[in-house]
């Protein structure tokens, strides 16, 4: 059975410190036997200003953040999914919030650009406008790996079940959700949404989150977790930096889909 890890971080505006933290946590995941590890959204930076990410944007295929991910994958012999990093979009003032998957040789095997952007007012005092500094992606991505077929999503995507339905024809086994959920929305919705996506798609879910005080004005919910296709939580890190690992049995996906064929019973598409 593959052993997978969700890495929880409390990233800050200090890129070097964040990469040092990621290095330590990935070393721990590898020491615990993980073959696959997922970093959270914005693992390299959560700035004081939304525009801070623009200064570290990279062209796809080269740059220090991509080199870091490739090197970590090689060093630890991991399939490594790099949370998200800002990639050039063609517009100087907006980036793509991109999730990259590397094989144990350090080769980039898949890319997903976050489709749904978080433009909301959570409360009267707390609002976000990702589209001001980000461009949305357009393509659904399923990565075929020895660990299983992985449907890639990011944070706010979690609220859009139709995204995951688009993945089902490619026989997904695992859904990944690197995230930076706010503490306000996370407390109410994070676990129930993750478990719902696992149950309705009869898939494992690996969710790696930001979890703590990132800046003076931003706190993230954390509670990184791994969930099985029946909705049971296999492990969780509640707050602060940490790693949660679990063995996942892909035969459980196949057995459940055969004995409980809800996916075959769909009549609305």
Q: Is the pLDDT of residue 269 over 80?
A: no
Confidence of residue 44 (pLDDT cuts 50, 70, 90): very high
Q: What is the pLDDT of residues 155-176, one digit of tens each?
A: 999 999 999 999 999 999 999 9
The verdict on whether 239 is a catalytic residue reads no
Return the exposure string of 105-126: e unless at least 16 CB atoms fall within 10 Å of the residue's CB, then b: ebebebbbbbbbbbeeeeeeee
Sign of CA dihedral 226, 232, 235, 238: positive
Query: What's the mean pLDDT when you consider all of the chain?
Result: 97
The verdict on whether 53 is a catalytic residue reads no
| Residue keyed to tokens 């914005």 | 42
> Of residues 35, 130, 155, 183, which has the active-site annotation?
155
> Of residues 35, 41, 130, 183, which has the active-site annotation?
41
The verdict on whether 155 is a catalytic residue reads yes
Residue 168 is predicted with a pLDDT of 97
- What CATH architecture is 3-265? 4-Layer Sandwich (3.60)
Q: Minimal CA–CA distance to 7: which of 33, 41, 48?
A: 41
Q: What is the pLDDT of residues 195-251, one digit of tens each?
A: 999 999 999 999 999 999 999 999 999 999 999 999 999 999 999 999 999 999 999
Rounded Cα–Cα distance for residues 51 and 148 (Å): 36
> Of residues 114, 130, 183, 245, which has the active-site annotation?
114
* Residue 246: φ, ψ to 5°: -155, 150
Over range 33-38, report the average pLDDT.
98
Q: Is the pLDDT of residue 123 over 80?
A: yes
Rounded Cα–Cα distance for residues 215 and 177 (Å): 22
Domain ranges of the chain: 3-265
Residue 125 is predicted with a pLDDT of 84
* Rounded CA Rg of the chain: 17
């Amino acid at each position: 059975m593959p052993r997978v890890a969700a890495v929880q971080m409390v990233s800050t505006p200090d890129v070097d410190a964040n990469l040092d933290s990621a290095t330590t946590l990935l070393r721990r995941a590898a020491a615990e036997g993980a073959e696959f590890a997922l970093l959270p959204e914005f693992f390299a930076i959560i700035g004081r200003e939304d525009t801070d990410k623009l200064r570290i944007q990279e062209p796809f295929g080269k740059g220090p953040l991509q080199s870091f991910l490739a090197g970590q994958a090689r060093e630890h012999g991991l399939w490594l999914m790099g949370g998200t990093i800002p990639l050039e979009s063609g517009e100087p003032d907006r980036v793509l919030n991109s999730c990259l998957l590397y094989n144990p040789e350090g080769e980039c095997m898949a890319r997903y650009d976050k489709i749904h952007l978080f433009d909301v007012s959570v409360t009267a005092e707390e609002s976000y406008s990702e589209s001001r500094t980000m461009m949305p992606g357009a393509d659904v991505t399923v990565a075929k790996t020895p660990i299983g077929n992985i449907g890639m999503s990011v944070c706010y995507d979690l609220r859009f079940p139709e995204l995951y339905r688009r993945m089902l024809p490619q026989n997904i086994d695992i859904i990944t959700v690197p995230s930076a959920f706010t503490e306000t929305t996370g407390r109410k919705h994070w676990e129930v949404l993750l478990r719902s996506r696992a149950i309705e798609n009869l898939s494992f879910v690996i969710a790696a989150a930001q979890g703590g005080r990132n800046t003076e004005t931003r706190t993230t919910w954390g509670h990184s977790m791994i969930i099985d296709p029946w909705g049971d939580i296999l492990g969780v890190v509640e707050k602060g930096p940490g790693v949660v690992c679990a063995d996942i049995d892909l035969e459980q996906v196949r057995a459940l889909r055969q004995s409980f064929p809800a996916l075959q019973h769909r009549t609305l598409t």
